[in-house]
Structure formats: C-alpha cells, structure tokens
Amino acid sequence: MKEYDIIVIGAGGGTKLVTPPSQIGKKVAVFEKESPGGTCLNRGCIPSKMLIYPSEILRFPQESEKFPIRFPSLPEADFSTIVKRVSDTVDADSASIPVAYDKNPNIDYYPYFARFLSDKVIEANGETFTAKHIFITVGTRPLVPEIPGLKETPFWTSREALRPDSLPQSMIVLGAGFISLELGAAYAAYGCKVTGFARKDVMKDLDGEVKEELKSNLPFPIHTHSAIQNVTFDGKNFSVTAKDKEGNSFVTTAEKLLVATGIIPNTDDLGLENTKVKINEKGFIEVNDFLETSVSGVFAFGDVIGRHFFRHSANFEGEYLFQNLFLSETSSPIHYPPMPSAVFTHPQIASVGSTEEELIRKQIHYYKGVNRYSSSAMGMARMSTTGFVKVLIDKQKETILGAHIIGDEASNMIHHLVLGMNLNANLDQLLNMIYIHPALPEITRNALRKVKEERKKEKGF
C-alpha cells in the first residue's frame, strides 16, 4: 500500500488541496478519472462562457435599430470554428495540469478511477493507497430524467452541447435552470430555432420580480408547467410529446434535444458503501461545520456536498480547508460570506443574499429599492428597455439583506453590493461614496436612494 499525507479524489475544485500543501512539504496523491480541471474547465463555466460571449456580439446588430444603426446584412458566425477554439483552449489548459504536477516532486498524479475499499483505503488501477487526510471532490453530472423513450435516443447533455460538430437548425431544451437558459440563449443567437420545456417555472429560486423580467425578455420560447409524455427519434429529428397545464397534448420536433434538468452527485460508484461516510437521500455527502465527513480525516467539498454549486464556492471551501488543516494553529468552523451567483443568459442576472419572497416567508422587515436601467444616464445612452437593480435593506440595521440585478453586465455590477454585504455597510455608507457619472453603477445608487426615500416616509429622516 502506498501512503501519502494527502489524497485528493477529483482534480477539479480539488486542486486547491494539491499544489498548496505540496509547497509546504506534504506528499500528495491526486486521482482523476476524466480530464483534469473538473466540470468548470472541461464541461461547464469556462467553455460555456467562451461559447456565450460571441453569441452576445451577434445580438448587437439585432438591437442596433433603436439608435438607429443599420448594418448592410446580419452577421454570420463560423460556429464550428468557434467551437473548435473553445475545445482546443480548454483541452490545452486541462493537459497542462498533469505536466505541472509531474514537475513537482511532492505530487503524484494518477489518471485513474478511484474508489474506497474501507474508511481510509483507496483502490485505483490495481493498487491501494492511504493518507492521513483524504479529500473527496468528485462533483456532479447531468441528471437524466425517467422519460419514456429518452434513454434510447442520442440526446445531448451540456457536455455534448459544448462540443457539437455543427450548429443544428433547431433544438429542444428540457429544463429551465441556468444551464438550459444559458445554452438555449446562446444557440438561439447563433441562429438555431430553440424551444424550451419546463416541468414547473423558469429559474424557480430567482427573486420573483427578476423572474418575471426574465420571462418577458427570453430570446426563445419556453413551455412552462409542461409534463413530458415521451421522446422519440426517427434517425433525423427528435419528437417530444408533452401536456400543458390544461392537460392538452402537443408534439414538438427538432434536430437536437438538450437535456438540462438537474444534476446528480458522483457518489454512486465511489465505494462509499465500504465506509462509514454518510450520504443524504439525494446522494450528496454529509459533512460537518469543518467539512469533515462522518469518518475522521476524510473531508468533502464542492458540488458533491450539495451546499453551493459554483466553482467560486468550491474554491472558497478548498482554501478554507488548506488554511484550517495545514496553516492555522487552531481549528475553526467554516463561515461562508455572502455567496453571489450569476446567470449568463440574455438578459444577464446576478444575485446575492435573500430574495424578497424569502424575507416575507421569514417575516423579516425590509426596505425595497428598485431602479430600472432606463432611469439612469448610462441607461439613456444605451437606450435600455430591460433590466433593473433591486436592493433589499434591513429596516433595523439598514444593511443589505439581498440584491438582485437583471440587465447588462449584471455579473460585474453585483460586486459592489457583495462587498457592501461583506463589510456590513449600512445604507448611508453605501450612499456616502461618489459614483462615476455616467456609469452603470449609478443604477445601484438610484435603487439605494429609493430605499432612503422609503425610510424617510416611514421615519422622517
């Protein structure tokens, strides 16, 4: 049996526990059954944004008529070349990871599937391994729903949709979460006729007002509250039979079918049944406030624990574990700062903190300020017809409870409010700074000013 200081299963977010510990003398073994870099690099965040950004450029001529600026003809994208550039870039980045590990004498990289034989013993490629600290960061994979006929068809998940041979003329998208909305919007911009289906509503966890704004401006139609009856494929096209909320059946046909209905943790083949590591009813690994599993010395983080499904949250957890286990003299539980999120659809969405619906449900008293993009100098310059900033402020402390932005550059705009939440800045402090004029953050300032007006009506100051 080979013995290490650290074993890491999963070279995605798990990389936070590979190189940093090796630099302080720890011997590390890292196992990865697929391409190094995990979902984010190979099948998620990075390739999707590389595919999405050019699609946003394609929208400029479509939206320029209002200025008015007219183009002699609509632009055409060399879709196959764009996809090749995306794939070549992420493949090269992924391939560079083992090369860097090979140069480090304290890291052994094993490109093999690994599973537990017992609490602290791992088997891979016919060998056994153990370590004082074991980190499970195996992530998740697309969930394939039990729909009659679906599994007998060559449907796509996000993995295939990010590496297609060519642009399909039409595509059906099952699901209405961030993956389906992002890829559906991108494909629609490239010229594919996209039709969506959602079992319930679009982005069910979004703030209600943001959701309604999104639904009014989506670049492709979505049949919400639809029950899929079956899926067939005739060798050329997919046919999806569904029932609407009134119970009426209808059939939609398209060249491709993208299934983006959720995720499932990669814990079913880890051999956890050979250990005392506990998982919940959905298969996610249970951890305590120190990210430790029910087995001492075995930790888990990232998507596989089911807390936050972002690479930035996995990075935060990995950095916490490195600091807490190997650098700090005393151990302390993890404390998550406000966790922001973004949806890179069209229009773009970003959020942090509570939604208004959550505050109402918890009976937390709040002020609300909403300001549309159009009610700002830069919004006037851009002739913005969609989008707003919404801030929710605690009535007692006057700190930020939640913030939600839909519109241009929302993922950049939100950071001002994330910082405010991190610093517990109050309303007056957020307004007592100079905002560049004219710039998009003035929309945030105006939303905060509306909160101040609301406070004045209630308190007189």
Q: What amino acid positions are annotated as catalytic residues?
A: 437
Specify the amino acid at residue 427.
Answer: L
Q: Residue 297's closest CA among 6, 100, 3, 52?
A: 6
CB 277 within 8 A of CB 304: no
Residue 30, helix vs strand vs coil: strand
260 labelled ligand-binding: no
**Is there a contact between 140 and 294 (Cβ–Cβ < 8 Å)?**
no
CA–CA separation, 285 vs 301, rounded Å?
9
Q: How far apart are CA 78 and CA 95, in angstroms?
A: 26
- In single-letter form, the type of residue at position 323 comes to Q
179 is in an annotated binding site: yes
- Cα angle value 161/163/167 (rounded, 5°): 70
- In sequence order, what are the residues at sequence separation of 6 or more whose Cβ sits closer than 8 angstroms to the Cβ of residue 281? none
Residue 207 among known ligand-binding residues: no
Q: Determine whether the annotation assigns residue 402 to a binding site.
A: no
The answer to whether the annotation marks 314 as part of a ligand binding site is no
> Is position 297 annotated in a ligand binding site?
no
| Cα–Cα distance, 168 to 183 (Å, whole number) | 13
176 carries a ligand binding annotation: yes
Flag whether 447 is marked binding.
no
Q: Is 182 annotated as contributing to ligand binding?
A: yes
Cα 187 to Cα 171: distance, rounded to the nearest angstrom: 8
- Residues annotated in the binding site for NAD(+), as ranges? 175-182, 262
- Residues annotated in the binding site for FAD, as ranges? 49, 303
- Residues annotated in the binding site, as ranges? 49, 175-182, 262, 303
